[in-house]
Structure 1
Amino acid sequence: MLVAGIDIGTTSISVVVASAETGETLAVVTRKNDAALETDRSWEHIQDPERIFAIVEELIAECSRHWPDVTAIGVSCQMHGMLYVNREGRSVSPLYTWQDGRGDLPMKTGEDTYSLHLGKLEGHSLSSGYGLVTHYYNTLNGEVPPDAAHLCTIGDYVVMKLTGSAVPVMDPSNAAGFGMFATQALAFETKAVKRAGMDAAMLPRICEGYAAAGVTPDGKKVACAIGDNQASFIGSVPQLEHMLLVNIGTGSQISIYTEGYEEIAGLETRPFPGGGFLLVGAPLSGGKSYALLERFFKETCRSFGICIDDDDIYDRMNEMAGKALEDGAELLRFGTQFYGTRHDPLVLGHIAGLRPDNFTPGHFAAGVLGGIVDELMGYLHLLPGRLLNQIQQAAGSGNGIRKNPVMQQRLQDRLNMPLFLSGAQEEAAFGAALYAASAAGMFPDLKAAMAAMGKN
């Protein structure tokens, strides 16, 4: 039996086909997510959901040799973002991604931002980019499409398109990323939603346990879409317990699994597909910060009339960073909060320790990589000793780690333990495939699926 996983990321989309018996990966295809829509609002980040599904279809077509034998499909997706669908299940809005900044705009009625004001109404901190923060802004500013019937994630929408469903169903791992969600109860806080003036009837139904959301026309079971953070954890670690996952892609996170609900100041408690929770520290930086430096280098070269090959620049940056680590000069200390933090969007990035001998492009590259790691380690140290001492091994996932040996070195230096890299390519897509095997009933639970399929 074969299973497939689809991962819908902010910058790329991937499909993996694997054997449910052995975990052997039979096909891996990836395509750039080119669905971004132009906008004259500097704070708005939107994508075309129909273009995203078209890319998914193109990737499935590339797996045509194996696709007829696929019996279950899992989907993981960028968390927090949302779109509107009508009663027929068609998209009637763009996808407002997790990077959308409307929640940080000041309200017309006072000094509060939309995210801050909504957080006060609910009694919990909320960040811009969260689905219900976006919807709150749209509700107050008359930007909800008139024929909108439901809110959903892009993963839920792809599941709807695959199964022909007109009504979205949402896994708790994605619902929690919308905000205004009671994590322990695994339910939206509908009273708070109504108090804020939003229509609670637009909220999707929540999946329970290992659940299939529907079936494709050719009989493949499709699992409820799960959050990409949780999917990466599933696809990256050899076991759920005693593992730390460090993920660096466009964003970044540190995550550990716990069976019971925990509340730790400064960390998010996210529902885990099928049961349990992830404790997550999630900066707003990550690969975006390194991409910002890459853009700076390119613009500098172009300003001097120098043409550079975009395909080579990251490799060159990594090479320069590696040499900077070897040359013995004091390393720069970068604060990579270029996009603020989830708790304070006004926090700024900074550089410290500049000297004549480290004022070089290589030290800047090494400094940004170190700053990304430092910010992640700040979240790790929030864990109480009883949880921190349970960690026996660290796993790394995301292209920001997999494709960057210098990042791997900096992480290992700070973690003081080996960094395990999964043999699975496209960890989130592989994790979605593992979850699909559980949701389709091929295994009694996710742990059994991981034990059987995670051998590769």
Structure 2
Amino acid sequence: MQAPRREEDKASNAVGSPCILGIDLGTTSVKAVLMEETRQGPAVIASCTEATGAAIESHDISGPKRDEQDVRRIVAALDACLGKLPPQSLQRVNRIGISGQMHGVVFWKTSRGCKWVERDRRWRFEPDAVSPLVTWQDGRCSSHFLSSLPKPRSHLNVATGYGCATIYWYLANNPDFLKPYDAAGTVHDYVVTMLCGQEKPRMTTQNAASWGYFSTTSRSWNTDILRESGFPICLLPEVVQPGDIAGRTAYAWHGVPKGTEVGAALGDFQCSVRSCMTQDTDAVLNIGTSAQLTVAMPSEFRPGDTPDPNSPVSYYPYFDNRYLVVAASLNGGNAVATFVDMLLRWMADLGIQGSEPEIYQRMIKAALAQAETGLCISPTIFGERHSPERLASATGIATSNLSLGHVVRALCRGVVQNLQAMLSSDRLKQAGVQRILAGGSGICKNEVLRQEVEKAYPFPVVYGKDVDAAMGAALALRQKK
């Protein structure tokens, strides 16, 4: 398991002032930050990151790709994070903001969603009658299956991995699975609901839009369409605005005072953008497990209620009734990680031992020595939401470009060019973009990706801004009066 990371601002002179706890439940890790007001503005005084190790291995290799996670492990990683934050600072928390991986769905029984226990003089909750989390990466809903679903009244398409699509899949393929449950939400909706001792979740428009069958124009579910097709309407959460308070903590959770305000769960993407975007002329590029490029739309912009299934960009609800235009690629750091895993498997087949960090370091070094290549790699091994059947490919293969350096350079270039094809430089210019704020674990540790971004986009690229969903969740609650 990844070692937890802790950061403290020893220069903070606001000892005793109220803190906001920001949490992000990511795809592979959980992060918690403590933010307080200083004379210079909001500052993170402590943070901790913990890998979840929550992936559930699928043994059905012949069927469609499943991607599920153990909610108990996610909550355990969250407990581990909070257990490493300063207890005296946790006691000063007066608000909690939570974000998490969008689109996915978890089910629970309202009367038995969790059990509260006290250990080491700290209260925490343990998931009880809870299903696995079906994540945004789940691939069970094929194009054929999605085409059989009713058309949504929304500007957003419905794709595999979306909450409503997953529920439809269970209705068609395993209806008994749904019978024990009477509530559903994203995993961060679940955590907020348990913290507040509530039965039904209150879901923000950000998460509702990511589930499908939600109109951001009317801020309501397509209940008429869903009900007519036999969809269990009872599983749909109540929808509220981003920044609204969902409730108050039912226990003194990890020393956070009982009765502390908890914000309704937010989208991790919107919170990542909120953490670093300071001007409307900023574009934000994040390359982590997946990859996203986004810019804020004008305040008067409103999308329609008809989805364009072929559009490579989407419009996500942001804050203050605004929207982001987003190129959200399913292929980012995960494409590079898949290549590393392939190399390790090949080495194992040849009887050669190697470690992931060593292989990664060596292949980046090889690519840095190979500035150009005629090899072209389309890295869409995970498909794209607007083109789910699309596969990865390589062209321009020659005996002169088969070295590791050529291949890794072409792979990293392909990740960036795939994003550029979705949201071009010309479109960014039309939106008035003056600089790109880049972040995410994939780009921060990969100098080759950084070089390719700077080649692809004719704007200054700033790497100093941290793209941090946990910080964005805290900042979103800071604005709430």
**TM-score, with length taken from structure 1:** 0.88
Q: Which residue number in structure 1 is paired with residue 243 of structure 2?
A: 210
Contact 2:162/2:211 (<8 A) preserved: yes
Q: Secondary structure at the match of 1:19?
A: strand
- The equivalences for 1:62-141 within 5 A come to 62-65=84-87, 66-88=89-111, 90=113, 91-104=129-142, 113-118=144-149, 120=151, 125-141=157-173
Q: Which residue number in structure 2 is paired with residue 223 of structure 1?
A: 263
Q: Secondary structure at the match of 1:305?
A: coil
Q: 2:418 aligns with which of 350, 355, 375?
A: 375
Q: Which residue number in structure 2 is paired with residue 61 of structure 1?
A: 83
* CA distance in structure 2 between the aligned counterparts of 1:171 and 1:364, rounded to whole angstroms: 42
Q: Secondary structure at the match of 2:58?
A: coil
Q: Which residue number in structure 1 is paired with residue 400 of structure 2?
A: 357
* CA distance in structure 1 between the aligned counterparts of 2:361 and 2:92, rounded to whole angstroms: 38
* CA distance in structure 2 between the aligned counterparts of 1:182 and 1:437, rounded to whole angstroms: 27
Residue 120 of structure 1 deviates from its aligned partner by 4.0
Aligned Cα root-mean-square deviation (Å)? 2.1
Q: Which residue number in structure 2 is paired with residue 295 of structure 1?
A: 341
Q: Rate the CA distance shift 1:334–1:166 in 2: closer, same or farther, 3 A.
A: same
Q: Which residue number in structure 2 is paired with residue 418 of structure 1?
A: 460
Q: Which residue number in structure 1 is paired with residue 232 of structure 2?
A: 199
* CA distance in structure 1 between the aligned counterparts of 2:352 and 2:446, rounded to whole angstroms: 25
Residue 222 of structure 1 deviates from its aligned partner by 1.3
- The equivalences for 1:331-410 within 5 A come to 331-381=374-424, 384=427, 388-410=430-452
Q: Which residue number in structure 2 is paired with residue 451 of structure 1?
A: none
* CA distance in structure 1 between the aligned counterparts of 2:447 and 2:346, rounded to whole angstroms: 25
Q: Which residue number in structure 1 is paired with residue 179 of structure 2?
A: 146
Q: Rate the CA distance shift 1:122–1:114 in 2: closer, same or farther, 3 A.
A: farther
* CA distance in structure 2 between the aligned counterparts of 1:346 and 1:396, rounded to whole angstroms: 29
* CA distance in structure 2 between the aligned counterparts of 1:193 and 1:128, rounded to whole angstroms: 17
Structure 2: give runs of 5+ residues left out of the alignment. Answer: 1-17, 114-128, 252-256
Contact 1:89/1:165 (<8 A) preserved: no
Q: Rate the CA distance shift 1:375–1:52 in 2: closer, same or farther, 3 A.
A: same
Q: Rate the CA distance shift 1:384–1:414 in 2: closer, same or farther, 3 A.
A: closer
Q: Which has the higher strand share?
A: 2
Q: Which has the higher helix share?
A: 1
Q: Rate the CA distance shift 1:135–1:62 in 2: closer, same or farther, 3 A.
A: same
Q: Rate the CA distance shift 1:310–1:175 in 2: closer, same or farther, 3 A.
A: same
Letter of the structure 1 residue corresponding to residue 67 of structure 2: H
Q: Which residue number in structure 2 is paired with residue 438 of structure 1?
A: 479
Contact 2:294/2:325 (<8 A) preserved: yes
Letter of the structure 1 residue corresponding to residue 379 of structure 2: T
- Residues 178-234 of structure 1: CA distance to partner in whole angstroms, max 9, x if unpaired? 011112222211111112210212100011253011122323221111111111101
* CA distance in structure 1 between the aligned counterparts of 2:20 and 2:137, rounded to whole angstroms: 31
Contact 1:248/1:400 (<8 A) preserved: yes
Q: 1:235 aligns with which of 275, 296, 303?
A: 275
| Bigger RCO (CA 8 Å, 6+ sep) | 1
Q: Rate the CA distance shift 1:378–1:143 in 2: closer, same or farther, 3 A.
A: farther
Q: 1:171 aligns with which of 201, 204, 229?
A: 204
* CA distance in structure 2 between the aligned counterparts of 1:71 and 1:113, rounded to whole angstroms: 48
Contact 1:122/1:180 (<8 A) preserved: yes
- Residues 301-355 of structure 1: CA distance to partner in whole angstroms, max 9, x if unpaired? 2222221122333222222221111xxx534211111122212322111111222
Q: Which residue number in structure 2 is paired with residue 31 of structure 1?
A: 50
Contact 1:37/1:46 (<8 A) preserved: yes
Letter of the structure 2 residue corresponding to residue 57 of structure 1: D
Residue 422 of structure 1 deviates from its aligned partner by 4.2
* CA distance in structure 1 between the aligned counterparts of 2:411 and 2:191, rounded to whole angstroms: 35
Residue 45 of structure 1 deviates from its aligned partner by 0.9
207-216 vs 405-414, which moves further:
207-216
* CA distance in structure 1 between the aligned counterparts of 2:389 and 2:80, rounded to whole angstroms: 41
Aligned residues: 427
Q: Which residue number in structure 1 is paired with residue 285 of structure 2?
A: 246
Contact 2:373/2:410 (<8 A) preserved: no
1:316 and 2:371 correspond = no
Q: Rate the CA distance shift 1:244–1:303 in 2: closer, same or farther, 3 A.
A: same
Contact 2:344/2:355 (<8 A) preserved: no
Contact 1:231/1:427 (<8 A) preserved: yes
Residue 423 of structure 1 deviates from its aligned partner by 4.1
Contact 1:250/1:286 (<8 A) preserved: yes
Q: Rate the CA distance shift 1:196–1:41 in 2: closer, same or farther, 3 A.
A: farther
Contact 1:4/1:70 (<8 A) preserved: yes
